[in-house]
Structure formats: structure tokens, C-alpha cells
Amino acid sequence: MNLNDMGQLHAFLMRYRCIESRPRSRKLRRNESELAGILIEAGAEGLEKMNHFLAGQGLDLIEFTDTDMPGITTGGRVWVLARSPEATPPAFFSIDQVMTRMKLRDDTREIAAVWYLHIWLIHLALLYTHKGRAVSAVSGYLDSAFEEETLIQGVRDHIERVRSIGLDAGAEKRVYEILTDERGTDIAKRVRAFLGLMVDSGLLGCADSGVYEQTLLGAVEISQSFSRTLQHILPDEDALSNIVNLSAPVAEKGEEEEAWPEETE
């Protein structure tokens, strides 16, 4: 693997965050077959070399085959570009992109952050809690499909729970005001913005019109990062009604928050 090969791999992975030698449910992307061939020919030594290059950017290229991960086409290989759980995410995964796309009208960064975190946690409940799935069950990405309307309704139900709680003091009051100030089609618009972000970041795939599923990359990132960032806040059925108590610090953390959820989990 020479420097030109590494440059092409890097450019492709920055855009798609995944290379498949034999895609299961989509067509090959331009140059994807050639890049997969480079990685296959380079072998373990070449993958290690590429990862030395990526490590300084807080990234890790992980290889899977059909023998060690369900859902991969027979004889196929998949490489996913995951954020290292031990490193600061690179600048091009900046939270600024998330905040910009989550804003409606004249929203502040604080408002966008609160909405993003709440929708993200509810989407995790759909992927894990409602399916009785552990975060370590990476192969569960194969049975993770949910409809857009299911997430929209989940957020609506959550807002009604927040209204029923009622908060009148401290940081929770501000979160309460943000979530209960939604109007008309705001929830649907915010959920669609969130889903668009997740698809563009490679953490969700759009399997059909209005149907989304977790990608292998998304499952890997959640599994790798859970013990470091999520084990105390992954919602179960009862916890969903208390998510309002988890969002207040988001606006204060600013750039320390990771953009592409893990899930941005």
C-alpha cells in the first residue's frame, strides 16, 4: 500500500465511512471495488499501516468478514471507519454541523443541542431497549429497522411525559421550556433532520421509504463507546420519562460533545 493508495482510501472513508467488497443491499460506489481490492491485497500489514495513519485523527479502520459478522455477503469483507473511544474526535466531525442542521427558525445552539440529545436517546431505545438488545450485540444491527413515524411518535409521547412532569426551577426548567415550546410540525421536522444527520454520518441507513436501520458502523461505535460514555444513561422503558434530567449539561459542554452520535450514541 503506497501513499497514493492511502490517500484514496482516506478520501473515500471520510465521505462514506465504510468500504464493502460485496455490498449486501446497495450498489458498489464509484472506486469502492478497487479500494476494497487494495485493502485485501495489503493484508494485515497494510491495515495496520493505514491505522497508524488514522490513529492521529482519532479514527480506527476495523475489518469484518462473512465468517465473523452476520449480514456480510458470502466471501465479502467490510471495513468501517470508527471513531476511537480513546481519542478526541477529529475536527471534521465537529458538533457545529449537528447544531446547524438541527436548528429551526431562530433556534440557539442550546435549543438545537437539547433536541438532538433527546431524539438521540429515544432512537437508542428503539434500537436497543425495545428489542431487548444489549449494546454489545453488534450483530443486532441486522434486526434494527424502525419507521420514521415510530420515532416521531416516540418523541411526541416523550414531550407529553415532560409536560406532565412540569418543572419550575433550575436547569431542568430551561429544558422543559425548550421541549414544550414545539409548534405544529416542529417535532417531525426535527426528527427528519436528525435522521438525515445519522444517515449522512453512516450510523443509520435508509432501507426503504420511511424505514431506517442501524449500520454495522453504528453498532460498532455504540459498542465501543458504551462503557466510556453511555452506560449510565442508556434509557430503558422507565428512564424515557426522565430523560429531561439528562440534557441540561449539553449546552455547557459545547465542543467537548461528540457530533456523530453514537450516537452522537
206-229 per-position pLDDT tens digit = 977 789 999 999 999 988 876 555
Answer whether residue 222 is part of any domain. yes
Question: Total structural domains in the chain?
Answer: 2
pLDDT digits (tens, 9 = 90+) for 85-98: 777 766 656 677 78
Section 191-199 average pLDDT: 94
Amino acid letter, 122: I
67/117 same-domain check: no
Which whole-number Å values give the CA distances from 160 to 100, 154, 250, in the listed order?
A: 26, 10, 22
150/183 same-domain check: yes
Q: How far is CA 43 from the centre of its chain?
A: 28
Which whole-number Å values give the CA distances from 139 to 10, 68, 73, 113, in the listed order?
A: 26, 10, 14, 30
**Which of 44, 62, 83 corresponds to the end of one domain?**
83
pLDDT digits (tens, 9 = 90+) for 52-105: 999 988 899 999 999 999 999 999 999 999 988 777 766 656 677 788 889 998
3-state secondary structure of 23: coil
Task: Find the domain containing 235 and state its range.
Answer: 95-252
| Span of 50-54, 171-175, 191-195 with lowest mean pLDDT | 171-175
Answer whether residue 90 is part of any domain. no
Percentage with pLDDT > 70 across the chain: 81
Report the CATH number at residue 63: 3.90.1150
134/188 same-domain check: yes
145/64 same-domain check: no
**Which of 30, 50, 83 corresponds to the end of one domain?**
83
In this predicted structure, the answer to whether residue 203 has a pLDDT above a threshold of 90 is: yes
Burial of 132-166, coded b for 16+ CB within 10 Å and e otherwise, reads ebebeebebbeebbbebebbbebbeebbeebeeee
